[in-house]
Chains A and B, each alone.
Chain A
């Protein structure tokens, strides 16, 4: 069973709530229809009763009108008869006059008591009647027709009032249904002496009774006092059968009750089921006046409630259609809800992926501050606030060989596409800077990589800086980015060539610039999310406010990177207020804080570019180490490091076969020992050489490439600078105290 149900009911409707809605709606509609049907039926019933009663009353009145005319005419003439009682022979004229004046009256007699006029005999009854248009007068009473015993004579004689006879069929006469109205005639003493009659044709009765129907198939019935059918749609029954005979075979005995009621002159209504099983409503009432006639209105239930049934069928069909529609709507709604659920799940998935993407992106940014707690030459702080989950801004920095490499950038656009480009930019910056120290070359390399694969025409404004930590020399290359602020003795903008943004066009020659950063100066870098931060009124924060905020920081001696960025962030938030952040906001502050220390030891030697001079170098290093009281191991390590560095210069700085000098200076303060190796050869940066892979097998190990590797292993730092046409390589070793 449940299987069949499952097949029949769509899955979306199987949910109990959907079914409950449909069932509730069905019950409500059904109940409403039932109540409506009940009241409509009541109304129709009342309407039928009302119409039937009106019909009965109207017909009664109509009949009564005719009868009244006859009665009044007879009464008026009766007066004439009473005046002429002494003139028996004038009675014919009276009857003739009555006929002449009244079309309904087809015969009239003045029938006297036996021997009222002795000379006229026992029966004296002048009679005039109409037949085929001619009027004939004669004596009514004959030896064969003794009227003194006739009902029309005896009844009024006894009652002393006018009397309507039981209708009868005038066979051999007018061949029509008749009734006789009899009125007693009184002499001067008030004694009844004769009966004045008027024979009235009742042919008009059928006309009146059958004239109108309250429903097309309803019919009216007129019965005499004795139950004779006087008028009905079936002509053959009229005056042939009594109602008892006509209804004798009917199964429903209610008709007998109705017949009785009608003959007793009562009014009422009843329901009769005919032999075809159809219900009929019978309304009956006695006619006004003395006739004792009774009329019934018979209506078929089928017809009365026809329109109601039709309406009920229509309503039921409409209801079913409505329920089907409702089911369909629920089905659609359920399907939509499922679809919506799927969409929501998808949204949630994307949301969680965005969340992860955001975490990955944030993971790419330096976020541990202070980043270099041990360094006494630089302090950094950076912050990135994306406008969306992921953003297109980036900043990064790292120290390699006593050089601080840093960058800040802004990818065109926002959201996921920008974040992908941001990730690529940051990765390339790290990869390229690992073996390239010149910012213009770093930017050019990034540009070549990114312009080639730039299918989406996205670009990055980028500022790359390389701060030489020992000297404070800043080399930088700007690719269409905002110029950084320098906050030192005052607040100023670092002059920048704008070049073009990265990834716009391959082959662009990016120009590098240089500046000297003095101890205490802070380089403040930012993206346009700062200067273009908008408040609710669409006013921008602007460069003026950035500079003003920096000046305020300087005024209260708060130019430490973290302080500056927090102060700037507060200023922007205060300016923007409740307005939504429209762009990523990124700031990076770098303060150069190198302090010059007292030099304790300074020794120098100049050697030609000949490896045979290595023993002299060794003697020089030994001398330095001895002065610093180094142990044998450290002395050996210093020897090895300096030899490797100097031999490298000897072999590569000058073209083969050319002579050149190499000066080596050792300098020490309380903290560290520094060797500075200077030559005037062609630019040569050993720090960007690939490090030796010490994990290779003997067969795969290249001969060479070990020297710089050893230097990095043995010294704390190696630093290269090209200064005034010289290659300057600096090696540092922290002193152990």
Chain B
């Protein structure tokens, strides 16, 4: 599981790659910390290379959202494959995030 955070066009972009299962989530959560510091920026989580996500991974997404939303930052999810989108749908997360 790889997590890369870049600033592109003034937005913070987190690129996730691999399986985000329970075993991988502590590490991923740590890697996502910089997103919490966003200021007047939008956050884009790029899931194009995300193969798998379990509830622990979803919790990280929710955690990011809860931290940045009060600051007026939008969180966008990009490149989610159909299987994972279905997981988002099952859990209602599809209503919480904006998708690109």
Interface residues of A (CB under 8 A from B): 611-615, 618, 632-633, 636-637, 639-640, 643-644, 647, 692-699, 701, 703-704, 706-707, 709-710, 713-714
Contact = CB atoms under 8 A, between A and B. Distances in A.
A639 B82 CA distance: 16
Contacts of A714: 90
A637 B92 CA distance: 16
Nearest to A693: B92
Contacts of B69: 698-699
29 contacts: A611-B56, A612-B23, A618-B19, A618-B21, A633-B82, A633-B83, A636-B52, A636-B83, A637-B83, A639-B52, A643-B21, A647-B56, A692-B92, A694-B92, A694-B95, A695-B95, A697-B96, A698-B66, A701-B62, A701-B92, A701-B96, A703-B62, A706-B55, A706-B59, A706-B91, A710-B55, A710-B90, A710-B91, A714-B90
A533 B86 CA distance: 57
Contact of A643 (B22, B59, B92): B22
Given A636-B83, A710-B90, A611 B23 contact: yes
Nearest to A613: B23
A713 B100 CA distance: 26
Nearest to B70: A699
A698 B65 contact: yes
Contact of A640 (B54, B63, B66): B54
Nearest to B51: A636
A695 B19 contact: no
A614 B96 contact: no
A614 B22 contact: yes
Contacts of B63: 703
Interface string B55-89: 11011001101100100000000000011001100
B91 A694 contact: yes
A699 B91 contact: no
B55 A695 contact: no
Given A633-B86, A692-B91, A696-B92, 9 more contacts: A647-B54, A698-B96, A699-B69, A703-B59, A704-B55, A706-B58, A707-B55, A709-B90, A710-B54
Most buried by A among B66, B69, B90: B90
Contact of A709 (B22, B65, B91, B95): B91
Nearest to B53: A640
Interface residues on B, range: 20 to 34
B66 A699 contact: yes
Nearest to A705: B55
Contacts of B95: 694-695
A614 B21 contact: yes
A647 B52 contact: no
Interface string B38-60: 00000000000000101110110
Among A696, A706, A709, A710, the most chain B Cβ lie within 10 Å of the Cβ of A706
Contacts of B92: 692-696, 701
Contacts of A695: 92, 95
A643 B54 contact: yes
Contacts of B58: 706
B96 to A, nearest CB: 5
Contact of B23 (A615, A699, A706): A615
Nearest to A692: B91
B55 A615 contact: no
A704 B90 CA distance: 14
Contacts of B91: 692, 694, 706, 709-710
A614 B50 CA distance: 17
Listed residue (B19, B63, B65) with the most chain A CB atoms within 10 angstroms of its CB: B19
A612 B22 CA distance: 8
4 nearest A-B pairs in the assembled complex, by CB-CB distance: A694-B92, A706-B55, A614-B23, A713-B90
Contacts of A701: 62, 92, 96
A58 B66 CA distance: 140
B100 to A, nearest CB: 18
A378 B41 CA distance: 58
B97 to A, nearest CB: 8
Contact of A644 (B52, B55, B65, B82): B55
Nearest to B82: A633
A647 B56 CA distance: 10
A647 B25 CA distance: 12
Q: Which of B23, B55, B59, B63 has the most chain A CB within a 10 Å cutoff? A: B55
A614 B57 CA distance: 13
Contacts of A618: 19, 21, 52
A643 B22 CA distance: 8
A450 to B, nearest CB: 36
Nearest to B23: A614
A695 B89 CA distance: 11
Contacts of A696: 92
Contacts of A706: 55, 58-59, 91
A662 to B, nearest CB: 13
Contacts of B62: 698, 701, 703
Nearest to A640: B54
Contacts of A644: 54-55
Nearest to A696: B92
Contacts of B83: 632-633, 636-637
A696 B91 CA distance: 10
Given A701-B96, A706-B91, A615 B21 contact: yes
Contacts of A639: 52
B55 to A, nearest CB: 4
B92 to A, nearest CB: 3
A706 B83 CA distance: 17
A640 to B, nearest CB: 6
A512 to B, nearest CB: 33
Contacts of B19: 615, 618
A643 B96 CA distance: 24
Interface string B12-31: 00000001011100000000
A253 B21 CA distance: 145
B19 to A, nearest CB: 7
Nearest to B60: A703
A257 B56 CA distance: 144
